[in-house]
Structure 1
Amino acid sequence: MSANGDAELVFQPARGLIGLMTSRQLSARELLDAHLQQIEKVNPQVNALVTVCADRACELAAAADAALAKGRVLGPLHGLPAAHKDLADTAGIRTTYGSPLHADHVPTRNHLVVQRMLDAGCVTLGKTNTPEFGTGSQTYNPVFGATANAYDPAKTCGGSSGGAAVALATGMAAVCDGSDMAGSLRNPASWNNVVGLRPSDGRVPQWPNDRPVFTLSVYGPMGRTVGDVALQMLVMARPSNRSILNLPPQDFHAVYDGDMTGTPVAWSDTLDGLPIDPALAEALAPARGLLTQLGCAVTDAEPDLTGVDEAFDIMRAAYYWQEHAQEYRDRPDQLGDSVRWEIEHGSRLTVEDLGRAETLRARAYDRMHDFLDTYRFLVAPVTQLPPFPIEQHWPETVAGVPQTYYREWMRVCSRISLTGNPAVSVPFGFTADGLPAGLQIIGRHGDDLGVLQLAQAVESATGTWRTRPARPVVGRDHRPPPAVAP
């Protein structure tokens, strides 16, 4: 295949690539080679992939081709080059969690999501960059450095699944996984013009998992199109006896079958009063009209989210204390400022605090349930501002409103994390400066398919996902990783 053909190939939707492979117009090895060439060309400028396992990927691609030669398709992800977030354990592949404390850590088992993707036939390329322990929506860490935005390398890519979003946007992977506690699948998807789904609590089982009933953090898929995300949900979103929380399966093949005529939709500019940067608001302004054109019955309405910020803060801090207290005691100098801030907050919590957080969450869940009884979907911004400079750890102000801590500006996502609803970021538009802006579609608990069906309708109407980034600026130093896994 020509160099130009390779360049086109790596930006094709994953579903189309599988069709080319299963019809034997393309081999898994040819597809892998095209992606490895793209990684060599682009990754030094954006630093999205932090560990690349070319030899292992070649073995997996060869196995996919051998299976197809015998008339057998490995699974829904047959032969697709995939990258896994550096928070997800990968057997035999370095997994650092973005922390110098684990810089040489090589797990002996796979996270369940990773294993399911492998069992479905994906070809693991390596690991994607993440902030330290996934802390914050700016992807940088002391092990690998920062990941640049695919559309402007001088800007942040968001996070914490930032490496995944940039790998997809720049054609270095066909599908990626990620995790989301405060917006970590949705925020970087929005800022890099790809699709990121935070599934309903209990939709995607997690293992290993020391806190099996802690539901603020979920795993989920990321892709260039809604259809590619639905394809991954066929693999990820199945019940498991490893998990205490399991929702019944949904038929994600039906992602293209949604009819939105008459569907009641709540449109929220601010998600209950949050500051929104005018440049972002301008980019999203046509969304309400588009929803009406799609046949939705749109009403301006805000859910009552009283107490959700306090409850989220308490539960997240308690998690950090439980997860990282020993590391804090032993090596506090090896932990970043944001991680220490969360741990120290957690250390001061009382039983009364934890009880209050549970009560606030239960009440918020009930109010959101009632709100979405009236409206099937809630549509809002994904972020509160456009991407900020990559040198900044977090923005000091949003629309003139001071931000007092490192993740305050992500409450438009963390509020939905607290209520446990499925939420997707789908590409919608661009700011006047050419930076991507996604639309957040929130649904009833368990209606992950419905959320993706509305996202698919938006995607088809706009075609925004087809706008690719220009070639990254050569010469920026983002501390590119070694080309071969240790």
Structure 2
Amino acid sequence: MTEPCDLTAIEARRRIGAKTMSALELLDSCIARIEAVDPAVNAIVARDFDRARAAAKAADERTMRGGDLPALHGLPVGIKDLEPTGGLRTTFGSPLFADNVPAEDCRMVAAIRRAGGIVIGKTNTPEFGAGANTRNAVYGATGNPFDPSKSCAGSSGGSAVALATGMAPLCSGSDTGGSLRNPAAFCGIVGYRPTPGLVTAERRLHGWSVLPVLGPMARTATDTALFLSAMASDDGADPLATTVYGQTVRSPDHYYPLPPLDLSRLRVALSPDFGFAPTERLVRQAFAEKTGLFRHVFATARDAAPDCSGSNEVFEVLRALTFLSAHGDKVRQTPEKVGPNVRANVEEALRYTMEDVANALTAQTAIYHRWQSFFTQYDVILTPAITVSPRSWRELYPAEIDGQRTRTYFHWLAMAYAVTIVGHPAVSLPVGLDGNGMPFGLQIVGPRGGDALVLRVAAALEALLAGDARTSRPEPDLAALRAAPPISTAEGFLGFD
């Protein structure tokens, strides 16, 4: 029998609205799952169960009164520990903020609460989101739900693990170098990177940068669309939000419910590496095998990719620029309390010149224009979501892939940051397992502003592939996780590296 915490968000919301399940019943099921499984993986690191129960009881009282209910009414939500939550510990994975309790929510969290979402706790992240291996010196490492000795990627790793194991039906995340998509791929769930400005990110220091975004994560594409509909806004606190003379040009109902999509009308490009990403042979093989099962359903499906020349250099410079603004003072003043990834980015930034920055911005624009030309021929691009199969979380980052050294600690995220630098929307959709028996994520990239299209393609593919064990969403062995030793007992659990 399906436990309430294993229901999709849409089904759970339907039952709450129909009064066949209470919000408190759902919350208690999620809490029970956290208490049973989280010791093995360490995903929910700060818990707000008492306030969540009070919110669930209030939601049930509202249900019984009748009337319209908000989109996320009664649904438990995990919030990534990079986003401030009023009255709930927010550490950013840093010892510098180990005891930080914000006075108020960031705007994204406030929007989730207004939509009826119930914050159940904070999900683990690497220090300041630096790197795609979820471990830090405050809460320790988060293990992959399919094998806790392996990485869950990141930086939204805690959210991905919580979703995969049924600790919450919805979780938030953020993405610069793939931090919504990478852990989704490693954990067998959906991670969606929206168009910059669609979800308010008022804390972005470089307000007009398209690199960092906030976004939704869920177990299915349709749940993700529901969550995005509650997050999306044109809040002027985000310089990239779009409003024209006071008229909102983005409406939540644009993203949910999703109209059906005829896949046979799509022109699709497929690429294992965008022409430059250091993709592991095992991942290339999985991508070819998976897409070989369904590429015939499209109007056209060709092996092609936009010209991404210069993407590595652009991302390296612009990423370093953001880290210098956000963390330069920390590295100078308290270097012993800052981890190696953050130090590396700040030190790299200090080596660049104004000419380097100017060249990176110019190259970024040129790449963007090449992408726009490419999308006159294709509707979407399909790629692997990440370049490697999950490895040990003790490995700070993949220093080599198939015997070739990586350029930086984030070079292995090139499949994701190729999309980041041009500001296009993208989703990681779970498509079975790879040759190592670990989840495989398919990245679907849409045209500029094509958020609704990306989600419709993801939902259509999800429905098409659900009946085949080779391509359906994989699920972790919960019984094994319940019986597993606490990850906190593992050597090297607590620390930066």
Shorter-chain TM-score: which interval?
over 0.9
Aligned runs of 1:403-442 on 2, under 5 Å?
Answer: 403-442=406-445
Q: Which amino acid aligns with 1:423?
A: A
- Paired residue secondary structure (2:182): helix
- Paired residue secondary structure (1:182): coil
For residues 81 and 37 of structure 1, the distance between their equivalents in structure 2, rounded to whole angstroms, comes to: 13
Residues 288-335 of structure 1 show CA distances to partners (whole Å, capped at 9, x for unaligned) of 334434334101112101112111111110111111111112101100
- Paired residue secondary structure (2:427): strand
Give the TM-score normalised by the residue count of structure 1: 0.95
- Paired residue secondary structure (2:92): coil
1:314 pairs with 2:317: yes
Aligned runs of 1:79-98 on 2, under 5 Å?
Answer: 79-98=74-93
Counterpart of 1:249 in structure 2 is: 250
Shift of 1:236: 1.0
Q: Which amino acid aligns with 2:488?
A: H
Query: Which residue of 456, 468, 472 corresponds with 2:475?
Result: 468
1:222 pairs with 2:217: yes
Shift of 1:286: 3.0
Aligned runs of 1:366-405 on 2, under 5 Å?
Answer: 366-405=369-408
For residues 408 and 129 of structure 1, the distance between their equivalents in structure 2, rounded to whole angstroms, comes to: 22
Counterpart of 1:338 in structure 2 is: 341
1:477 pairs with 2:487: yes
For residues 6 and 293 of structure 2, the distance between their equivalents in structure 1, rounded to whole angstroms, comes to: 26
For residues 295 and 411 of structure 2, the distance between their equivalents in structure 1, rounded to whole angstroms, comes to: 32
For residues 72 and 330 of structure 1, the distance between their equivalents in structure 2, rounded to whole angstroms, comes to: 55
The CA RMSD measured in Å over matched residues stands at: 1.5
Shift of 1:281: 2.2
Counterpart of 2:307 in structure 1 is: 304
Shift of 1:287: 3.5
Identity of aligned residues (%): 38
Q: Which amino acid aligns with 1:477?
A: I
Give the TM-score normalised by the residue count of structure 2: 0.93
Where structure 2 has 5 or more consecutive residues not aligned to the other structure, the ranges are: 243-248, 491-497
Residues 233-291 of structure 1 show CA distances to partners (whole Å, capped at 9, x for unaligned) of 11111211222212432511242412222311111121113232222222222333344
1:139 pairs with 2:140: no
Which deviates further from its counterpart, 388-397 or 416-425? 388-397
1:112 pairs with 2:122: no
Counterpart of 1:174 in structure 2 is: 169
For residues 53 and 472 of structure 2, the distance between their equivalents in structure 1, rounded to whole angstroms, comes to: 29
Q: Which amino acid aligns with 1:283?
A: A
For residues 400 and 328 of structure 1, the distance between their equivalents in structure 2, rounded to whole angstroms, comes to: 32
How many pairs does the alignment contain?
A: 475
Which deviates further from its counterpart, 237-246 or 22-31? 237-246
Kindly indicate whether the alpha-carbon contact (under 8 Å) linking 2:27 and 2:53 is maintained by their aligned counterparts in 1.
Answer: yes
- Paired residue secondary structure (2:421): helix
- Paired residue secondary structure (1:440): strand
Q: Which amino acid aligns with 1:403?
A: T
Counterpart of 2:24 in structure 1 is: 29
1:162 pairs with 2:157: yes
Which deviates further from its counterpart, 212-221 or 68-77? 68-77
Kindly indicate whether the alpha-carbon contact (under 8 Å) linking 1:144 and 1:479 is maintained by their aligned counterparts in 2.
Answer: no
Counterpart of 1:483 in structure 2 is: none
Where structure 1 has 5 or more consecutive residues not aligned to the other structure, the ranges are: 481-486
Which deviates further from its counterpart, 16-25 or 450-459? 450-459
Query: Which residue of 359, 364, 374 corresponds with 2:367?
Result: 364
